[in-house]
Structure 1
């Protein structure tokens, strides 16, 4: 916690099968949550708060059988599924100050738009959907669209694609 770590979390974290606490709160980490977190079946407490994580919260993270505390606050997550919603209501999951439309205590639309207007990617982004403990290995998606209980934040409108007009005016 608070170590000034930067970058994206690697999928290899899912190989920490005996871990019961994972705390990287208060750093400069970014990217989506690796789906390999589904392999952390002994995980009791998971703290990803106060970073720059984004995207939907993978439903499989909220399905961890021993999870008693999941802190995702002060990031830029955009969506949670039904299992996560159950845990939010039980106060097991903290998603304050994110970009999840329809939930209280979220960042402003302007703050979310400013964050998402900057291009962000992780190296080997496909590896983030790899689940080493599951047959077949790869997750098709973090959440099926028919399971969404809270809508994602609207995509920000940017003007990055516009180019200045080069025609000269003639009088």
Structure 2
């Protein structure tokens, strides 16, 4: 199934080495390309973004990670691409410039768009809210999350030690 967002869709390719990835990218002919060189891992990935109607190759993103493909996340947030590669989250603008990168302290639970200006990065034991410039505006270390929910811009967290409510605005 092809998921189309903002008239674009992504295809993921995985490789066994950086050499294979480079050879593949050189043969793609994408107008724009970003290779995250400072990433390390046993798995090599390339995301090719296509125009949903014309099938034109718009850009490519490549990186390596120790995570399997099922554990990677990519999302559009306004005019930004949020790319989670396991140990880091990247905010990448439409010009394929890295706006910021955020180290992940504990395993990622998920990403949640609060509004046009705020994004929640929820980890197993850490809560971060960032703005659309990639700046951390809220950061809290917590006990391991046992359960959580979000309602009316409030994050309800249950840990073995306490119940917390964190305002997401």
TM-score, normalization by structure 2: 0.22
Q: Which has the higher strand share?
A: 2
Q: Which has the higher helix share?
A: 1
Structure number with larger C-alpha Rg: 1
Higher relative contact order (CA closer than 8 Å, sequence separation 6+): 1
TM-score, normalization by structure 1: 0.21
